[in-house]
Amino acid sequence: MTTRRKKEWFDDDAFWQELYPFMFPEQRFAATPQEIEKALALTNPRGKAALDLCCGPGRCSIALAQLGFEVTGVDRTKYLLDRARAKARAAKVKIQWVQADMRDFVRAEAFDLTLSMFTSFGYFDDKHEDVQVLGNILTSLKPGGVFLIDVMGKERLAKILQPTTSDVLPDGTRLVERHEIFDDWTRIRNEWILIRKGRAKSFRFHHTIYSGQELKDRMQQVGFADVKLFGNLDGDEYGPDAHRLIALGRKAAHPKATKHRTEPFKRRSKARA
């Protein structure tokens, strides 16, 4: 059952449509097959059923399908799913596309591998909903299944964040980015301003930021086992100089004798913030 919620910044298709060329340049698609090869080397999934959660325009889904995986791509944004379908048709691969909120999507013990790439996590004002999403992912994995998440770590942000940056893009658009950390270094507020032909258009978005230990704690909280952190998809050690925060966790191959959840993970009343 889908829960009715207030409208958030990520619900606006126009946001994704306007920023698509900057978030998903063709160079990123070209680099994806190599990224997926590295992700598979890290995760070593037991089977071929894969979930690309918050799949966007399908770059990881398509790369997985080209390697023989049975892929389900999930995203809440119709515009991005339409782009994903078109790219999959052009690549001649079959993928199941699902329009759904990651807080609601659950398929009990359906997947050997779940990927969450390119900082597609931490969007929600209520941090307990991040825990809910991680619980849904765990429920949807088969015993022995593996989850890999890729975000920008808090440690990296502390070193490189600038309040304002400005760049001129190849098409002549000036992109001004403004960033502000708030809520005691737990969240980041962003504003992207596109200036074309003297006219400016502003887009605002925000999300939770995690340190390596904080993300590891959240994953262990819901039951992920053998959680490991890496600084990139090559498997290098995570630390303050790491460009990315990669976390990998597994579902126990032989879970304890408890009934598997078939409904979305429900946060407990005393869940840790």
For 145-202, the pLDDT digits (tens) are: 999 999 999 999 999 999 999 999 888 999 999 999 999 999 999 999 999 999 999 9
The Cα–Cα gap between 108 and 110 comes to 6
Whether 65 shows a pLDDT value over 60: the answer reads yes
CB 161 within 8 A of CB 185: no
Report the pLDDT value the prediction gives residue 69, as an integer from 0 to 100.
99
Q: State the Cα–Cα distance between residues 39 and 33, nearest whole angstrom.
A: 10
The pLDDT of residue 256 is 56
Q: Please calculate the CA angle 64-156-205 and round it to the nearest 5 degrees.
A: 75
* pLDDT tens per residue, range 27-41: 999 999 999 999 999
Query: Amino acid letter at 66?
Result: Q
pLDDT at 243 over 60: yes
Domain ranges of the chain: 9-152+210-251
> Which has more pLDDT, 162 or 4?
162
Q: What is the CATH number of domain 9-152+210-251?
A: 3.40.50.150
What would the DSSP string read from start to end of 214-246?
HHHHHHHHHT-EEEEEESSTT-PBPSTT-SSEE
Give the whole-angstrom CA distance, residue 84 versus residue 33. 15
Predicted local confidence at residue 267, as pLDDT: 44
134 Ramachandran zone, left/alpha/beta (phi>0; psi -120 to 50) = alpha
Task: Give pTM, 2 decimals.
Answer: 0.89
- Residue 3 per-residue DSSP state: P
**DSSP assignment of 6-25:** ---GGG-HHHHHHHHHHHS-
Sheet with 49-53, strands from edge to edge, namely 96-99, 70-75, 49-53, 111-116, 141-151, 245-250, 225-230
**pLDDT for position 210:** 98
Give the model's confidence band at 259: pLDDT under 50 very low, under 70 low, under 90 confident, else very high: very low
Asked if pLDDT for residue 14 goes beyond 90, the answer is no
Closest CA relative to residue 33, chosen from 80, 69, 67: 67
pLDDT at res. 255: 54
Q: Count CB neighbours of 177 within 10 A.
A: 15
